[in-house]
Amino acid sequence: MASEMSPRPFHVLFFPMMAQGHLIPMTDIAKLFALRQGVHVSIATTPLNATRIQSTIDRAAYITIHLLQFPCSEASLPDGCESLDLAVSQGMGMAFTEALALLHHPFEQLVEGHRPDCIVSDMLFPWTVEVAAKFNIPRLVFHGTGFFAICAGNSIERYSPHESVATDTEPFLLPKLPHPIEMTRSQVPDFLKTRTPFTELMERVQESINQSYGVVMNSFYELEPDYVKHYREEVRGSIKAWHIGPVSLCNKDQIDMAERGKKAFIDPTQCMDWLGLRDPGTVVYVSFGSLSQMGGAQLMEIALALEASGRPFIWSLRINAEWLPDGFEERTKERGLIIKGWAPQLMILNHPAVGGFVTHCGWNSILEGVTAGVPMVTWPLFAEQFYNEKLITCVVRIGVGVGSQVWSTSVEDESRPVIKREEIVRAVAQLMDGGDEADERRRRARELGETAKKAVEKGGSSYMDLDRLMEELKLYGHQTK
């Protein structure tokens, strides 16, 4: 009888974008929600993406996975191309993004059948706001980036400062931000300079956010306090925003850290044993994420720079290493570990031997570096990565730029110059060598890492914000029933 009288759990349905940089943090957020008492969590995704998170979900609090078939054939994509990292050309990437809208009807059917109390949707599914409204369900938006990047992008969209300079390389100031942030026109995303299909998608995204209940952010207040305030007061106004990160910290077990996203290409034990032979703070970790691509000439320069640096390194690569300099692996085998595939990044960054992180500035990687207390060499390529670089180098000052100047999604883009080995060696040395400036940078990184961990603990800023969010959602649910 008691079970019959028990209230129905508050059901939150997550709908992550089918890309590693979106799927991984949203799975972490789902785990955080599931740990709250009286909450049932489910995730809607495709079969391939379900296999990538299944082992993580199985070890977590009870979470249900609902399968949706990805419309590969309707979008003229190869069978099984269910994640953006499998779209290996620019044309395939565009087709993949356009295919997301074809999930509207099956997702609506799923919602109608299960009637969740809340939908947490990736921003790249703007049409989910219509589904939520149809069934009178609050919709939360997941951005996939931080407050600073959104504020910086909003400054460019609203004031167009890049149109006031004469050349692509002339710096301009981003208006109305709490800090003096400079960029060049070549670093501004293409869709903000020229109208493209992605421009139209982002306009729909902004409209859908304005019609949503609020926004959940994988960030923590102490990382970007001025921009939390700026976002809430100047960018979104009445649209609420909650910071609940760094969400990667929900992965406390070694196996969760090792298999976050998908199974690592290398045996994590082998990786940890290799790091265990190195002195503290001496290893450089190099990774450019799941989507970033570089041409052979640039990869060659990175290899030669790592060799010239004389430092121990781990290099995570997306592709086969056929382009490596002759004899490179043999010459560096005593101090270099090359991982040709998915790396256990959380485990690597949190090992005491790692003293620096060469990163593409994807938001997940940025937060993982921050949380580990590791300073960074910043090498942005596209998306919001140039904004993230400014946060790390200019605002919290725990990074050194390698000199990346051109925003581009294309490997073949000739306007993106190859960064020479000398510049890479310079940036790594500036980060890793001694001296007052480097020591101060490391101190700031360590302190920020400790602050990040405290944010998600009971009583911390992110823990409390998630509490407030859950209370508001449950109250909203009671009021609308």
- Arithmetic mean of pLDDT, 118-141: 98
For residues 330 and 382, state if they share a domain.
yes
For residues 60 and 176, state if they share a domain.
yes
Does residue 255 form part of some domain? no
Structurally, the chain folds into a number of domains equal to: 2
For residues 225 and 282, state if they share a domain.
no
Enclosing H/E stretch for 358: strand 354-359
pLDDT over threshold 70, residue 262: no
Does residue 286 form part of some domain? yes
Distances (CA, A) of 103 to 11, 18, 122, 128, 336: 21, 11, 13, 10, 44
For residues 76 and 90, state if they share a domain.
yes
Which residues touch 471 (CB under 8 Å, ≥6 apart)? Answer: none
Q: Looking at 28, 85, 117, 122, which residue is catalytic?
A: 122
For residues 218 and 325, state if they share a domain.
no
- Report strand pairing: 182-184 vs 171-173: antiparallel
For residues 461 and 435, state if they share a domain.
no
Q: What are the tens digits of pLDDT across the range 155-201?
A: 999 999 999 999 999 999 999 999 999 999 999 999 999 999 999 99
Q: What are the tens digits of pLDDT across the range 43-94?
A: 999 999 999 999 888 887 689 999 999 999 999 999 999 999 888 788 898 8
Q: Which of 431, 359, 396 is nearest to 181 (CA)?
A: 396
Does residue 257 form part of some domain? no
For residues 208 and 269, state if they share a domain.
no
Does residue 258 form part of some domain? no
For residues 311 and 179, state if they share a domain.
no
Annotated active-site residue 22? The verdict is: yes
Q: State residue 325's pLDDT score.
A: 86
C-alpha span between 251 and 437 (Å, rounded)? 33
**Bridge partners (DSSP) listed for residue 284:** 313, 356
Q: Looking at 11, 22, 40, 143, which residue is catalytic?
A: 22
pLDDT over threshold 70, residue 324: yes
Q: State the pTM of this model.
A: 0.94
For residues 89 and 228, state if they share a domain.
yes
pLDDT over threshold 90, residue 244: yes
What secondary structure letter does DSSP report for 324?
S
Question: Which structural domain, as residue segments, surrounds residue 172?
Answer: 10-249+456-480
pLDDT over threshold 60, residue 4: no
For residues 302 and 162, state if they share a domain.
no
For residues 24 and 137, state if they share a domain.
yes
Task: Give CA 403 to chain center in angstroms.
Answer: 21
Q: Output the six-digit token pair for 148.
A: 């600073």
For residues 172 and 224, state if they share a domain.
yes
CATH classification at residue 466: 3.40.50.2000
Q: Which residue has the higher pLDDT, 327 or 386?
A: 386
Annotated active-site residue 351? The verdict is: no
Q: What are the tens digits of pLDDT across the range 390-399?
A: 999 999 999 9
pLDDT mean across residues, the chain: 92
Does residue 302 form part of some domain? yes
Which residues touch 79 (CB under 8 Å, ≥6 apart)? Answer: 72, 73
